[in-house]
Amino acid sequence: MPYGWEGEKTRLVPLDREKHFDNALRWMNDPDLTAWMLSGDYPLTRVGEEEFFARVSRPNAEDVVFAVETLDGRHIGLTGLHRIDHRHGTALTGSLIGLRELWGQGYGTDMIRARTHYATNVLGLRLLWSEVMVGNDRSLRALLRAGYREAGRIPGFYWKRGAYRDKIMLYLRRDDHAA
Ligand SMILES: CC(C)(COP(=O)(O)OP(=O)(O)OC[C@H]1O[C@@H](n2cnc3c(N)ncnc32)[C@H](O)[C@@H]1OP(=O)(O)O)[C@@H](O)C(=O)NCCC(=O)NCCS
């Protein structure tokens, strides 16, 4: 029986070492996949990824990380709520679809929507925020399409792959989303 939080094309499921670990390790060490991510510029060892899996797999008030699967159970990505702050009702969101051949087909947008549903309705968070580097048009479009709004830009904030890149700050408020 399938389990997890279901969107129209994706399902967010708990991380499973057997099913998701090797993909996560491979994806996070792929320079193309991480071209616009904050992660990916230092080698991620098996030990490092094991520590990450162990940390986010323990009951943990600050991070919720899901594996993203298609509705028929294929592992396609990872997504998370980080720096969860229950007092302020906020969390930083991030994601990766590791199967490049599936990009641009709406999986990312659907995954973001499912994560928003979980964050707002299940955890009761009020405001989600995210950061995208200028140039990561796909991520920006997926976030905007899923209801995030741009709050502003800081020029040249990030050093990434040979240049300083502007940081775009985005947010989604539960109340706007429900409206
Ligand atoms: C960002 C990511 C999760 C988006 O997933 P996805 O499945 O490709 O997203 P979707 O198909 O739902 O939406 C992509 C949007 O980009 C558009 N798009 C497709 N190809 C594009 C391209 N070459 N350039 C710009 N936009 C493109 C799509 O049309 C869609 O927008 P629209 O339908 O509103 O026009 C995925 O590309 C990814 O994992 N990238 C690498 C990791 C990453 O950068 N993560 C985010 C860090 S902030």
Q: pLDDT tens digits, residue range 31-78?
A: 999 999 999 999 999 999 999 999 999 988 899 999 999 999 999 999
143 CA → ligand 1 middle, Å = 9
Minimal CA–CA distance to 5: which of 82, 68, 95, 85?
Answer: 68
pLDDT tens digit sequence for 83-112: 999 999 999 999 999 999 999 999 999 999
Classify 84 as helix, strand or coil. strand
CB atoms within 10 A of CB 68: 29
Helix extents (H) in the chain: 17-28, 46-57, 107-117, 137-145, 174-178
The superfamily (CATH) of domain 5-178 is: Gcn5-related N-acetyltransferase (GNAT) (3.40.630.30)
Nearest to 112 by CA among 86, 138, 88, 134: 138
pTM, 2 dp:
0.94
Asked if residue 132 has its Cβ within 6 Å of ligand 1, the reply is yes
DSSP strand pairing (127-133 vs 90-97): parallel
Q: Residue 142 CA: which ligand 1 atom is closest?
A: 13
